[in-house]
Amino acid sequence: MHPLSSRSRVVVNKTMTFWERLYLPAIVGGLWITFRHFFYKKVTIRYPEIKRIFSPVYRGLHVLKRDDLGAERCTACGLCAVACPAEAITIDAAERKPGEEGLYREEKYAAKYEINMLRCIFCGLCEEACPKQAVYLTDRIVPSSFERQDFIWGKEKLVEPVEPEKRVDVSIRHYFQKEA
Ligand code: SF4
Ligand code: SF4
């Protein structure tokens, strides 16, 4: 049978020298490497007191956007859930009732919209699939928690506030993503 590569490794049964059998030089060498690292520049930071500057195209925690008048943009079409490779999105659709025009932009809306942040891989495909510019990823990160339930983000946490000054700005990331 022919080998799969032309490389061959010669196995040598070399006997250890006196110093190698002592092991002490190897241990001292290892400790010396550890000691040297005390004087290197640290690669870690004191998060959350200190935060790194993220890339402008960083994809983090989602937001469900409202239109200029404050109505929810999402029409519960489900395209984001279909596009999601991690099956992280759960949607329940509902019919808008008379008098709710200010709350929901179209006749159908998402009564339930949940994203499981433990499943999400922050690929951004939900954002690309959305025909209503309703779901976006932002530069925010998902807060840590010891409870699994805290990573199921529903509408109460995903929909941006009505107040214009509290809206979530996604324009910078969107601009750089288009340019990339
Ligand atoms: S970012 Fe990707 S994995 Fe996360 S919810 Fe959207 S489509 Fe699914
Ligand atoms: S976020 Fe967009 S794609 Fe997802 S259900 Fe709502 S309108 Fe459809």
Average pLDDT of the chain is 92
Report how far ligand 1's centroid is from the alpha carbon of 134 (Å). Answer: 14
Instruction: State which of 65, 72, 73, 77 you would mutate to test the pocket of ligand 2, scoring each by most atoms of that ligand within 8 A of its C-beta.
Output: 77
Report how far ligand 1's centroid is from the alpha carbon of 163 (Å). Answer: 27
Question: Which pLDDT value is given to residue 148?
Answer: 95
C-alpha 114/C-alpha 123 separation (Å) is: 17
Q: What is the token pair recorded at 133? A: 């510019």
The finding on whether 45 has its CB within 6 A of some atom of ligand 1 is no
Question: Which pLDDT value is given to residue 175?
Answer: 83
The finding on whether 162 has its CB within 6 A of some atom of ligand 1 is no
Q: Which ligand is nearest to the CA of 122?
A: 1
C-alpha 131/C-alpha 82 separation (Å) is: 13
pTM of the prediction? 0.78
Q: Indicate the pLDDT class of residue 12, thresholds 50, 70 and 90.
A: confident
C-alpha 77/C-alpha 109 separation (Å) is: 8
- For each of the domains in the chain, give its residue range(s) and CATH number, in order of start: 62-179 (3.30.70.3270)
Average pLDDT of span 37-59: 90
Question: Which pLDDT value is given to residue 48?
Answer: 84
Q: Which residues contact 159 (CB under 8 A, 6 or more apart)?
A: 63, 64, 66, 72
